[in-house]
Amino acid sequence: MNKSAKVLIVDDEPDTVEILSRRLAKEKYKVIKAYSGREGLELAEKHKPDLILMDVAMPEMDGFQTTRLIRDKIKEFIPIIIVTATRDDTGSIAMGLSLGADDYISIPCETEELLARIKAALRIKELHDELLKRLTEAYDRIKQGHEELIHVAKMAALGRCTAGAAHEINNPLGIVSGNAQYILEIFKKKDIKQLTMEDYQEIKESLDVIVRSSERCGAIARNLLRFGRKEKLQKRLTDINKVIEDIFPLLKNQLNLSNIKVIKELDRKLPLVSIDPSQIEQVLMNLMLNAYAAMSKGGTLKLRTYEREDAHLKMEKIKKKMVFIEVKDTGQGIPKEYLDRIFEPFFTTKEAGAGTGLGLSVVYAIIKDHEGEINVKSKVGQSTTFTIKLPLG
């Protein structure tokens, strides 16, 4: 890297610029020249050099201001060596380092010292760039793994509700079959010319029932397909209440068979929220399935939505408008010693083989991706309440 590196020299003294340029040119560095702090900033933004030699004492915009602005405006890491007129200028050296410079050199100086400091700074940049590259690659792998984990958990939740959805589809399919058989029986007994107005009315009513039942089957199937799709985070303004309502056809049969009463207290004036509907649907599906599992002997599942001002994040003091979603069950509850670990990956209170422990960790990750919060309160033997906070806008 050193031999092809671009070095920006920023100095208002043309003679100094030329001396430094000749020294660096002999070492095959590509030299960019700037004769003021403002020009240095412009050229740094334009060319993104590998190193900057920055004079301190310049009119209008000195080296300190230029260094600070470069650090503020340019995201890439560029080593800056401040150039002072004397080795005893400790005040300037300290000021430059505090504003973002990485090293200093005093001129006049020996060529060997200048080149050694430049090479050291370029090695630091090379290491920094390599580390950044590896971190970016690692982040991409983690992000991909995170997306895969969300999909795995989604498929697990889908599997848990498919049996109930199959029963839910069987009912309207039975109605379709029964009405179709009834119409066939009419045509077996009578020729079409012999049909009365009463026969036509009965056929029409049966066809209406068939259409409604078919639409119900289609809606359930579409919900299952939508829930099972693997998608990246795609936020859009969404009605939270509709997301909740769309989930119930998938769980209705399971909840009814388990004697679980559902109470919905949904704020119908709730503003739209910027979310990924598919992922928030997954969150609510997981929470509702957990509530169902906790109430094996029946109970009450309560869903509540409302809006109020609250701190966006725990560390923030300024309150903002937030949308809240509460999922409460009257199940067995969660022991106090487990509450702090409930969102950890692979943590589960179920028996071995009964669950992966991924559900709530994925729920937590999805809510964090939405810049929201989720917490849980529970009383053993009484109830468990999960509360989700999502920011507006």
Query: pLDDT at position 70, please?
Result: 92
* For the chain, percent of residues with pLDDT exceeding 70: 76
Report the pLDDT value the prediction gives residue 343, as an integer from 0 to 100: 83
Q: Which neighbouring-strand residues pair with 302?
A: 263, 328
Q: Is residue 37 scored above 70 in pLDDT?
A: yes
Top mean pLDDT of 49-58, 146-155, 280-289, 351-360 is at: 49-58
Q: Does residue 34 contact residue 46 with C-beta atoms inside 8 Å?
A: no
Percent of all residues in the chain with a pLDDT value above 90, rounded to a whole number: 27
What is the Cα 278 distance to its own chain's centre?
A: 13
Residue 357: which pLDDT band, with cuts at 50, 70 and 90? very low
The upper half-sphere exposure of residue 71, i.e. CA atoms within 13 Å in the direction of its Cβ, equals 16
Which tokens go with 105? Answer: 């050199």
- Cβ neighbors of 345 (< 8 A, separation 6 or more) are 149, 357, 358, 361
Q: What value does the mean pLDDT take over residues 377-392?
A: 93
What is the tens place of the pLDDT at every residue in 333-351?
999 888 888 887 656 665 5
Bridge partners (DSSP) listed for residue 106: 84
Length of the chain equals 393
Mean pLDDT over each residue of the chain, to the nearest integer: 80
pLDDT the model gives residue 317: 58
Cβ atoms of residues 32 and 7 within 8 Å: yes
Q: What is the CA radius of gyration of the chain?
A: 34
Cβ contact 34:8 at 8 Å: yes
- Does the pLDDT at position 50 exceed 90? yes
165 pLDDT more than 70? no
Domains, the chain, ordered by start: 2-109 (3.40.50.2300), 147-391 (3.30.565.10)
Banded model confidence at residue 106, pLDDT cuts 50, 70, 90:
confident
353 compared with 214, residue with greater pLDDT:
214
Q: What does pTM read for this prediction?
A: 0.48
Quote the pLDDT of residue 282: 79
278 versus 152: the higher-pLDDT residue is 278
In the block, tokens 């960019």 appear at 32
Q: Looking at residue 200, what is its pLDDT?
A: 76
Whether 10 shows a pLDDT value over 50: the answer reads: yes
Greater confidence, 163 or 106?
106
| pLDDT tens digits for range 214-232 | 766 666 666 555 555 555 6
- Rounded to an integer, the average pLDDT of 180-187 is 75
pLDDT at 355: 45
How far apart, in Å, are the Cα atoms of 243 and each of 249, 307, 386?
12, 16, 17
pLDDT digits (tens, 9 = 90+) for 267-317: 999 999 999 888 898 789 889 888 988 898 899 999 999 999 886 555 555
